[in-house]
Amino acid sequence: MTGTILILSGDPAATSVIQRELSGKGSLLVFDRVSSAYDCICNEMPLLLIADMAAEEDAKELVTFLKDDPLFSGLPVIGLFDDAKGVPEWNVLQVDDYIWKKDLKRELRTRVQLCLLRARRVVEMNPLTRLPGNISINRQIQNRLDEKQPFALAYADLDNFKPYNDTYGFSRGDDVLRITGRLLFTITKDRQNEGSFVGHIGGDDFVSIADTQVMEDICRDLILAFDRIIPTFYDPEDRDRGFIQGHNRSGRARKFPLLAISIGVVFSEGSSFSHYGEITEIAAELKAFAKEHEGSCYRINQRNYSADKA
């Protein structure tokens, strides 16, 4: 655990237990005044706020203020409560977790760890597809490289997605991204349930990580499933024509084919990759090569596969 844990409490007994139990778990800052705690949070966002809701009446107002502010709403908060004062009003308290003071010594470490893990998952999750985002993706790749674990990285994105969005709107574009993420996740897990990973970089960019021996099957399955289902996301007349009428970046009218998916795949085995940026750069280059082919396609080094070769 790295970072600062801010403790807001005027109860010496409670702060003593917290400092003892969390010793060595990061930098601990203790404040007994709400104003001082707020100034500190504004100056540098802590990793976690432990707020004594029993001893500090103003702490409830501070937590409410922080959670209502988009800048601070992601700050995880654990509330301390005194069971002698009765059950708190959970419907109005915006804490992420709680501990009764009598249970501090027994539960503090576990509650802190779970609260931080939960907050990290929420931050790293793409809100549209609910798939892990860039931080998790980079960590997954780097961990495998550090452990010298052979794996295949597939980097996929959609062809003609911008004209689709321009024609049908962001809402229907979001539907396409959701189904793409769902297809990639389901197919990857069907081929390799244990040890695989699927992430959403953002926009129409996705990542799949799996063993080298199953990655080509994942790509083939994804292309076939994507090409089969994607026409249903078009209006009948566009689907029957096989294209939509739009404009290029210069404003000139042109015909855009139906959505396709392009995938660049890199095998880590036999390479000298030591940083996630190196392997993702090669995957991006291979994806660009795949996009030169009209229609859905994946590219692994010099090998090429497209839907019409299925």
In tens, the pLDDT along 264-295 reads 999 998 888 999 999 999 999 999 999 999 99
Q: Which residue has the higher pLDDT, 84 or 152?
A: 152
pLDDT above 70 for 303: no
In tens, the pLDDT along 83-136 reads 766 666 766 688 989 999 999 999 999 999 999 888 877 777 888 998 999 988
CA angle 67, 71, 77 (to 5 degrees): 40
DSSP state, residue 241? H
Q: How far is CA 36 from the centre of its chain?
A: 33
pLDDT above 60 for 75: yes
- pLDDT given at position 238: 95
pLDDT above 90 for 69: no
- pLDDT given at position 143: 94
- pLDDT given at position 91: 65
Neighbours of 91 (CB within 10 A): 5
Q: Which residue has the higher pLDDT, 73 or 79?
A: 79
Single out the residue of 250, 249, 265, 254 nearest to residue 297, CA to CA: 265
- pLDDT given at position 195: 93
Average pLDDT of the segment spanning 150-164:
96
Domains of the chain with CATH codes = 4-124 (3.40.50.2300), 134-309 (3.30.70.270)
Neighbours of 169 (CB within 10 A): 10
Single out the residue of 62, 239, 236, 271 nearest to residue 150, CA to CA: 271
- The answer to whether residues 232 and 168 touch, using CB atoms and an 8 Å cutoff, is no
C-alpha dihedral, 240 to 294 to 299 to 301, nearest 10°: 170
- pLDDT given at position 309: 47
- pLDDT given at position 84: 60
On average, the pLDDT of the chain sits at: 90
pLDDT above 70 for 1: no
Cα(25)–Cα(155) distance, rounded to whole angstroms? 37
Q: Which residue has the higher pLDDT, 3 or 112?
A: 112
In tens, the pLDDT along 160-216 reads 999 999 999 999 999 999 999 999 999 999 999 999 999 999 999 999 999 999 999
- pLDDT given at position 120: 78
pLDDT above 70 for 307: no
